[in-house]
Amino acid sequence: MCPILKLDQHDEEKEILFELKYLSSLTIRQRFEMMLKKSAEMKRLLKNRGRGKSTQIIKRT
């Protein structure tokens, strides 16, 4: 489970440092698993919205 950062005000620098600290605490295997899981999720979302279809060549008769 990944930690959650709660801030009273938006602070982009703290958010980036928090994210980097979290990612550096993971093993390489965990990072790749997370990356592959996110890629599969994005692919599924695009396919469900009709964007995952490849182009088709239509022959005119």
Confidence of residue 55 (pLDDT cuts 50, 70, 90): low
Quick one: pLDDT at residue 7? 81
* Spatial contact of 21 and 29, defined as CB atoms under 8 Å apart: no
Q: What is the domain extent for residue 16? A: 12-47
Quick one: pLDDT at residue 54? 64
What percent of the chain shows pLDDT beyond 90?
48
Q: Is residue 54 part of a domain?
A: no
Q: Is residue 37 part of a domain?
A: yes
Q: Is residue 20 part of a domain?
A: yes
3-state secondary structure the chain: CCCCCCCCCCCHHHHHHHHHHHHHHCCHHHHHHHHHHHHHHHHHHHHHCCCCCCCCCCCCC
Q: How many domains does the chain have?
A: 1
Q: Is residue 2 part of a domain?
A: no
Kindly state the average pLDDT of the residues 40-59: 78
- Kindly report whether the global pTM for this prediction surpasses the value 0.75: no
Q: Is residue 22 part of a domain?
A: yes
